[in-house]
Structure 1
């Protein structure tokens, strides 16, 4: 015996013809397949396994057939497939796609900014959110078809609750600015309930929606402030899909509980209808109260009510989805402009500051007593001179804001000296612009004294005041930093629109025109007849027949809307009806357009 391992002896057995039968192991070795010698247990071979001696790599389910070693069983008939040799490398992948792949349409990649603002998928919608959304849709279809009033607040409350429940489920806690936007939006919705004029109502509704978008998204940059409201409209589709998915998930486990709830609702509605009808027929006072509180349901207005139902439903779903998973608009960054040299940047602005200073010097001369001389040289009446300059100065204020924004984007940023230069030049331009704003408002005041106040003049004067406030905010931001500037400007817009609505331009116009009549004896009665019910308390002080001429158009409008329910009637309309019912409006044969008293 030796120490070397023994090798089993190869034995040849005679075949049928007496010849030795070929050894399978020897044939395998001759072919180079690496088969184990006989006497050892053979391992199962996989047709697609890697050669022995190499670590097998994980196979990709989407790998193309050309990258795999075909098995003999998978080969086509009458096709010889040569097995790989031991230690052979797999064939390299082709760097170019197959010809048939070159004609396949390629999926467009989303923009980079869209991937940045895309939020995480929201959590499962809560049952309280679904009920709040349904309440918003029902109240919208029942209350909003008769007009705008306190019904906007009644519709906004369940929509706000739906957003609150969604944010709570997502783990979002309210922040101070979120409460500011939410309270400001609800305060703006009180304007339609208090005033009757159309322009303040429109501005209040739009501003309330914008503040609501800020409350839901939590944006704090210019991009978020500008794109928050369009993004809220875009969330209606994802919100609907989110709600349908939640309903489908709940349908499996609550089928046994839906039927009892439906039966309870049907029974309750039947009891209310039966006993409510009996009580209404038994007492006329109760019937009147019940009729004023209950919204009318008309078959002819069914399509319009369906549209309002859809608007309330999709709007509430968009608000709830945004509260649960808002778009991250603050992640969109705007790269600063290329900084310019000091001379290239500062020289045009210094020249502009000198021009402003020269104009302001002339204005000071006019205010100190040279006004008559200027009017004599121009050949214009005082009111015409004031009117000619107001609109130009308004555009000057708007363009200065554009210049300040562009100049801040291209300002030099080389160090402390450049920062001082930028603050000095832009600060001087802002201060001079504030003087121009004061001059424009003074011109408007002179023009109103001569020709009276109108809605347009009130509106443009309010815009001029707001532009002046924005310039002040920009000056403060340049001195102490401006991270808070976008939210401050948004808050100023909301506060300005709220003040504009509560003051009521129609009431202010009527008050100033009545005061002008008491002072000069002249009134544009044709214009004041077009005002809303907000102007009735002021116009009621005019003497007859001027009073009836001025209130005749408003009285007709109030008479046509006498059947409006309480939730679609503003406080101004209610007071105007009571006042006109108490004193009445006389029938006047003719009413001149420009009324002048004989005193």
Structure 2
């Protein structure tokens, strides 16, 4: 086709199509009054104007004879269909602000310097610039601080107090995971069940976008203000060199100053360079992901769960009523047992006192969990539409929740009896805490049935966070040690081998045991504390308190005292008691 072809008007029913890449805009197309291109720009001889065959008329692609237009090809023209992810996060953030970049860089530096020595108050120190980066990004995007966002943010920071107070690793792990989940909820601001469940888990969906967002911001600043950025980098490098040189000279000149400097500055050796670099990258990526989520949150609440097909009243209510009758019959027997009928029950079942309590707890825990599933499925199939239907649903499910609360109380009573017989362990206190939280969930469900379920998802999430925070603050290892020491004073057995595996949280209670039990119980804990030389920011309050206690009581002689008692046949690690109070091998934790 010749470059001199004039533009042919399109039919009236033809729509505008996007220009292929590399062609001129419609306003730049050649007019019919002149050639499209100059003769000098065309290679080879131009065609003769006289005697040449007329050029065929141009017809828009996709237009059939008769004025009818063929359907467009979605692979070639038109805008692509919007994906699910583009609907959940429709708008990207604007250019990253300098305050956000500086906060993310501060998070990365603090992560590399502080997190390599352990967990303590350093987690809270690192979390503060991360929260600032998210705050600056949200403010730049025009987001306002809402009450529930403040609740999630404050709750997440409060959970990071647990590693600063407790030495035990398992409540610390629960607190850190819950803090990340609450931080993700604060960034997404979700309300419904899909939003609360996915919003607490999907902070990592912004990792790639956050890194790209930060990289674009750095490139723009390098291109627009190369002199300013270079001055900042040079100034920082000179300051670091001066601190290192003169700090090393002063430390070698005075031992007291060297000790102070060693406590304040992390000990970064060459062998730890790779580990510190990894922590720097993790801190930077995490802060950028949090800031990107705050600027462009994912609208998880846009995911809707369709309600199930409603059933008839009789078809829906009859199975649940039968289940309520079964719960009532079981609880009637439990009421008899709780009022003192254990002798009759044990005689009929050939079970001793403690196995009866142990056997029933796990079944009741599973019954509580399955009841939550039954309620969720029943709500999807519940009859709805009329006021009498809502009254029926509230009555039947409310009765089931109330009966389940009694089951929770019965399970906790069984665990109390079991702990009274065999002592408290980590597994027993953990499952008892879970059962207690499930009881709180059923109370919230009952309140939602009366006041409405709009706040139920966030209330359940908040109750879980409060439960994890309370579990860490009560010091589970300390509580275990106190309960076992009290049982020993009441002439029960004590398992020294188990108590040796507790953390420094248990030292104050174990320190009250008589010798040689005290030395045998504290020997392993003291050895672990002596082997670790962590700085102040990675040392918990319980660990510092344990060091003080063991230092005052001559902890270096613990192993010698315990070994001497074993050699002399003393009562060091025996479990005491009589034959009717044996050690329970069922729970090794």
Q: Work out the CA distance in 2 between the residues paired with 1:155 and 1:594.
A: 46
Q: Work out the CA distance in 2 between the residues paired with 1:372 and 1:584.
A: 49
User: Contact (CA 8 Å) 2:517, 2:573: kept in 1 or not?
Assistant: no
User: Contact (CA 8 Å) 1:163, 1:321: kept in 2 or not?
Assistant: yes
Q: Work out the CA distance in 2 between the residues paired with 1:149 and 1:514.
A: 28
Secondary structure of residue in 2 paired with 1:523: coil
Change (3 A) 1:596 1:79: farther
Change (3 A) 1:424 1:79: farther
Secondary structure of residue in 1 paired with 2:341: helix
2:205 corresponding residue in structure 1: 234
> What is the deviation of 1:94?
6.8
User: Contact (CA 8 Å) 1:140, 1:308: kept in 2 or not?
Assistant: yes
Residue of structure 2 aligned with 1:582, choices 552, 559, 581: 552
Secondary structure of residue in 2 paired with 1:95: coil
Count of aligned pairs: 541
1:596 paired with 2:566, answer no
Q: Work out the CA distance in 2 between the residues paired with 1:404 and 1:253.
A: 60
Change (3 A) 1:283 1:60: same
Q: Counterparts of 1:130-145 in structure 2 under 5 Å?
A: 130-145=101-116
> What is the deviation of 1:514?
0.4
> What is the deviation of 1:365?
1.2
2:225 corresponding residue in structure 1: 254
> What is the deviation of 1:592?
5.7
2:321 corresponding residue in structure 1: 350
Stretch of structure 1 that moved more, 317-326 or 575-584 = 575-584
> What is the deviation of 1:79?
9.0
User: Contact (CA 8 Å) 2:251, 2:261: kept in 1 or not?
Assistant: yes
User: Contact (CA 8 Å) 1:144, 1:152: kept in 2 or not?
Assistant: yes
Q: Counterparts of 1:208-357 in structure 2 under 5 Å?
A: 208-357=179-328
Change (3 A) 1:442 1:83: closer
> What is the deviation of 1:276?
2.2
Change (3 A) 1:436 1:251: same
> What is the deviation of 1:61?
5.0
Deviations 1:451-507 (A, max 9, x none): 000000000000000000000000000111010011111110110000000111111
Change (3 A) 1:76 1:336: farther
1:569 paired with 2:539, answer yes
1:461 corresponding residue in structure 2: 432
1:95 paired with 2:54, answer no
Secondary structure of residue in 2 paired with 1:369: coil
1:28 corresponding residue in structure 2: none
> What is the deviation of 1:143?
0.9
> What is the deviation of 1:282?
3.4
Q: Work out the CA distance in 2 between the residues paired with 1:294 and 1:531.
A: 30
User: Contact (CA 8 Å) 2:92, 2:296: kept in 1 or not?
Assistant: yes
Unmatched segments (≥5 aa) in structure 1:
1-44, 65-70
Secondary structure of residue in 2 paired with 1:564: coil
1:425 corresponding residue in structure 2: 396
Q: Work out the CA distance in 1 between the residues paired with 2:515 and 2:186.
A: 51
Change (3 A) 1:548 1:408: same
2:127 corresponding residue in structure 1: 156
Q: Counterparts of 1:358-377 in structure 2 under 5 Å?
A: 358-377=329-348
> What is the deviation of 1:266?
2.4
Secondary structure of residue in 2 paired with 1:576: helix
Q: Work out the CA distance in 2 between the residues paired with 1:408 and 1:437.
A: 22
Q: TM-score, normalised by structure 2?
A: 0.86
> What is the deviation of 1:273?
2.4
Q: TM-score, normalised by structure 1?
A: 0.84
Q: Work out the CA distance in 2 between the residues paired with 1:482 and 1:61.
A: 49
Q: Counterparts of 1:532-547 in structure 2 under 5 Å?
A: 532-547=503-518
Q: Which has the larger radius of gyration?
A: 1
> What is the deviation of 1:248?
1.8
1:146 paired with 2:122, answer no
> What is the deviation of 1:239?
0.7
Residue of structure 2 aligned with 1:522, choices 487, 493, 511: 493
1:489 corresponding residue in structure 2: 460
Secondary structure of residue in 1 paired with 2:494: strand
> What is the deviation of 1:327?
0.5
User: Contact (CA 8 Å) 1:116, 1:332: kept in 2 or not?
Assistant: no
Change (3 A) 1:295 1:105: farther
1:198 paired with 2:169, answer yes
Q: Work out the CA distance in 2 between the residues paired with 1:90 and 1:364.
A: 84
> What is the deviation of 1:341?
0.5
Q: Work out the CA distance in 2 between the residues paired with 1:243 and 1:255.
A: 17
> What is the deviation of 1:284?
2.0
Secondary structure of residue in 1 paired with 2:433: helix
Stretch of structure 1 that moved more, 263-272 or 366-375 = 263-272
Secondary structure of residue in 1 paired with 2:339: helix
Change (3 A) 1:262 1:380: same
Residue of structure 2 aligned with 1:399, choices 357, 363, 370: 370
User: Contact (CA 8 Å) 2:517, 2:572: kept in 1 or not?
Assistant: no
User: Contact (CA 8 Å) 1:49, 1:56: kept in 2 or not?
Assistant: no
> What is the deviation of 1:593?
4.8
Q: Work out the CA distance in 2 between the residues paired with 1:169 and 1:152.
A: 26
1:49 paired with 2:8, answer yes
Residue of structure 2 aligned with 1:173, choices 144, 150, 168: 144
1:119 corresponding residue in structure 2: 90
Unmatched segments (≥5 aa) in structure 2:
22-31, 37-41, 579-589
> What is the deviation of 1:580?
0.6
Q: Work out the CA distance in 2 between the residues paired with 1:413 and 1:76.
A: 80
User: Contact (CA 8 Å) 2:17, 2:77: kept in 1 or not?
Assistant: no
Q: Work out the CA distance in 2 between the residues paired with 1:46 and 1:55.
A: 21
Q: Work out the CA distance in 2 between the residues paired with 1:130 and 1:180.
A: 25
Displacement over 4 Å in runs of 4+: 54-59, 61-64, 71-85, 104-111
Q: Work out the CA distance in 2 between the residues paired with 1:176 and 1:467.
A: 26
> What is the deviation of 1:63?
8.3
Q: Work out the CA distance in 2 between the residues paired with 1:597 and 1:61.
A: 88
User: Contact (CA 8 Å) 1:375, 1:382: kept in 2 or not?
Assistant: yes
Q: Work out the CA distance in 2 between the residues paired with 1:90 and 1:412.
A: 55
Change (3 A) 1:61 1:236: closer
Change (3 A) 1:97 1:221: closer
